[in-house]
Amino acid sequence: MTKLTTELGEQYNAKYPFIWKIFEREVLKAIKRGSRHESAKYIFETMRRSYKDLETTETFKLNNDFSAFYARKFVAAYPQYKHIFETRDSVFDKIEHPVQLQLSL
């Protein structure tokens, strides 16, 4: 088994950039609905239900191992929502994500 690292998270994100866009959209939708706290794993499950075609090939599976990576990526991109995810210590804690374009609510 490969040990998770920030580098692996970045590689996964580079290989499947659409995951970030969908994750970002789902979290922003939850915030717009009034959610004050979310679970990154719950967002991944929502993605699985809402976007069933994400896992229609054998070459791609939405990997829960990276949910902490995407939670931290979201908080880095949207520091005004740093409260949305309760985080525990993770190998992904040292992520620095440049903010490129933020979706608006």
User: pLDDT digits over 77-98, tens only?
Assistant: 999 998 988 876 554 555 555 5
Q: Is pLDDT above 60 for 104?
A: no
Indicate the pLDDT class of residue 24, thresholds 50, 70 and 90.
very high
Please tell me the predicted confidence (pLDDT) of residue 39: 92
Helix orientation angle between 17-32 and 6-15, rounded to the nearest 10 degrees? 100
pLDDT in tens, 50-74: 876 665 555 567 888 899 889 989 9
The domain locations on the chain are 6-81
Give the three-state DSSP class for 56.
Answer: coil
* % of the chain surpassing 70 pLDDT: 70
Helices vs. strands in the chain: H and E counts, helices first: 4, 0
Q: For residue 62, give every residue at least 6 positions away whose Cβ sits within 8 Å of its Cβ, in sequence order, or none.
A: 19, 44, 47, 48, 54, 55
In sequence order, which residues have a C-beta less than 8 Å from that of residue 20 and are 6 or more positions away? 13, 70, 73
Give the residue from 69, 64, 65 showing the smallest Cα distance to 6: 69
